Amino acid sequence: MRAFQVTGFDAPPSITDVPQPVPAQGEVLLRIKACGVNFADMLMAKGKYQDTPAPPFTLGMEVCGIVEGHGPGTTQPAIGTRVSVFGGQGGMAEYGVFPADLCRPVPDAMPDDIAAGFQVAYGTSHLALTRRARLQAGQTLLVLGAAGGVGLTAVEIGKALGATVIAVARGADKLAVAQAAGADHLIDSDAGDLKAALKALAKQIGGIDVVYDPVGGDAFKAALSSCNPEARVIVIGFASGDIPQIPANILLVKNIDVIGFYWGNYLKFAPDALTDSLAELMEMFTQGRLKPHISDTLPLDRAAEGLELIASRKSTGKVVITP
């Protein structure tokens, strides 16, 4: 079968012919229908992600596929079941093996490409905003990188939770995508002084209660300066490439919480939190309350292009690979 593999961190990933994998005990074999691309895939290809396996390995953290085989002693999900799964790797291929207990049946109304890119982005935003940020209806949520893979879901979920949402993104086209997802206020991060723009808007609407930050760098610093007392700043990632140093004096004076969030780690210490969150998100989708946005769907031969779309920030919402 074909797989998009990292064979070493000194060379770019490439399409490779490899044996079809065989499921071990507790695993299922999936015929992969679609694979969501994440910022972490790009980092993993360079050996810079916290959970990077040793080469060679196949990229692709989350997939939708059809169960075609079981490992020894494994009977569920049944053969022919369409499932989504966060496996951490192995998704950008024609087949893959994944833990059976992580596979979740996909609603009939959810297409393969949406199911493949749903868990990480929506799961990250939902659990971060509800469990960690404690976002309440009537509060104001600032989303940085608001047209990106996770940022756009934060806009949508924040609005669904009853918050007033401020979207910060680069350029009119990306802001239009964020507005369509429910953003109430729009700020172009390329249009000038972001810190001044945030302060002016915060003064107008009564400040910012929660900041959702997958960007880091100067955007983090600008957001921090506009927070209300007892605001919560959720650190999701550092797409800017700049990990900010946090000025503890501002946290002290304004009683601000800066809170880290890594969705994948909940599989290790609180898997029930992920299960409950994803069940709620699936129900929201079924009810028509969530409208996932995919900007690019590419065949496996163009998987490298998918990574570049993420790296260059040219995509909006999700990028999906379809083997």
Gap between the Cα atoms of 289 and 80, Å rounded: 28
Same structural domain, 47 and 127: no
Same domain as 244, residue 172: yes
Which residues partner with 37 through β-bridges?
319
Indicate whether 84 belongs to any domain.
Answer: yes
User: pTM of the full predicted structure?
Assistant: 0.90
Question: Is there a single domain that holds both residue 35 and residue 168?
Answer: no
**280 located within any domain:** no
Q: How many residues does the chain have?
A: 323
pLDDT digits (tens, 9 = 90+) for 269-305: 998 998 899 999 999 999 999 999 999 999 999 999 9
**One domain for residues 7 and 108:** yes
Residues 188-218: tens digit of each pLDDT: 998 889 999 999 999 999 999 999 999 999 9
Same domain, 147 and 205: yes
Q: Is 55 exposed, middle or buried (0-12, 13-18, 19+ CB in 10 A)?
A: middle
Residue where the block lists tokens 């503890």: 248
Whether residue 272 lies inside any domain: the answer is no
Dist CA 137 CA 253 (whole Å): 26
Residues 101, 39 share a domain: yes
Give how far the C-alpha of residue 182 lies from the chain's centroid of Cα atoms, to the nearest Å.
Answer: 18
- CA 204, CA 217: separation in Å to the nearest integer? 25
Domain that holds residue 307: 2-118+292-322
Sign of CA dihedral 216, 218, 221, 223: negative
**Rounded to an integer, what distance in angstroms lies between the CA atom of residue 246 and that of residue 155?**
24
Summarised one tens digit per residue, pLDDT across range 5-49 is 999 999 999 999 999 999 999 999 999 999 999 989 999 999 988
Residue 241 sits in the same domain as residue 131: yes
For residue range 113-136, list pLDDT tens digits in order. Answer: 999 999 999 999 999 999 999 999
Do 171 and 214 belong to one domain?
yes
What confidence tens digit (pLDDT) does each residue in 128-185 have? 999 999 999 999 999 999 999 899 999 999 999 999 999 999 999 999 999 999 999 9
Residue 310 inside a domain? The answer is yes
What H or E segment, with its residue span, contains residue 68?
strand 62-70
Contact call for residues 213 and 236 (beta carbons, < 8 A): yes
Which string of DSSP letters, residue by residue, matches 20-43?
PP---TTEEEEEEEEEEE-HHHHH
